[in-house]
């Protein structure tokens, strides 16, 4: 079973629009960690955020915000006032305390911001 599901394969928005990338996860652990990474066209993976399962506070960093809801097992990512430089593939990932070593990645959402 897929532990991390990113149902949106591709999204296109016009510059300055807001966009939300969905991430749903599945785990039996009570202690786990969630991550978002950005993969721009150049191919590297850029770390964006880490949340632990005991902290459901939403987080905002500039134009980026994250909404963590344990009740729906979701960890969604919103970009406000999107810019062309936001065009990338975004991956959500899960790390479980019981397995610890590996990250489980979703299949990614490809975001294109049109100028």
Partner 1 sequence: NAGVMQNPRHLVRRRGQEARLRCSPMKGHSHVYWYRQLPEEGLKFMVYLQKENIIDESGMPKERFSAEFPKEGPSILRIQQVVRGDSAAYFCASSPGQGWHTQYFGPGTRLTVL
By the criterion CB under 8 A, which residues form the site for partner 1?
A: 4, 6, 33, 35, 37, 42-45, 47, 50, 52, 91, 93, 95, 97, 100-108
Output the CA torsion 76→13→85→42 (10° steps): 80
Work out the number of other CB atoms within 10 angstroms of the CB of residue 32.
20
Report the nearest approach of partner 1 to the CB of residue 23 (Å).
11
From CA 107, how far away is CA 21, in angstroms rounded? 12
Residue 106 C-beta: closest distance to partner 1, Å? 5
Nearer to partner 1, 6 or 76 (CB): 6
Of the pair 101, 115, the CB lying nearest partner 1 is at 101
Question: Is beta strand 109-114 parallel, antiparallel or unpaired with respect to 88-96?
Answer: antiparallel
- What minimum distance in Å lies between the beta carbon of 17 and partner 1? 25
């Amino acid at each position: 079973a897929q532990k991390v599901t990113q149902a949106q394969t591709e999204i296109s928005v016009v510059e300055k629009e807001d966009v939300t990338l969905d991430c749903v996860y599945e785990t039996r652990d009570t202690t786990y960690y969630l991550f978002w990474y950005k993969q721009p066209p150049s191919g590297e993976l850029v770390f964006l955020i880490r949340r632990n399962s005991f902290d459901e506070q939403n987080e905002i960093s500039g134009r980026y915000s994250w909404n963590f809801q344990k009740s729906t097992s979701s960890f969604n990512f919103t970009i406000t006032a999107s810019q062309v430089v936001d065009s990338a593939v975004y991956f959500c990932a899960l790390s479980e305390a019981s397995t610890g070593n590996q990250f489980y990645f979703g299949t990614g959402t490809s975001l294109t911001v049109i100028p």
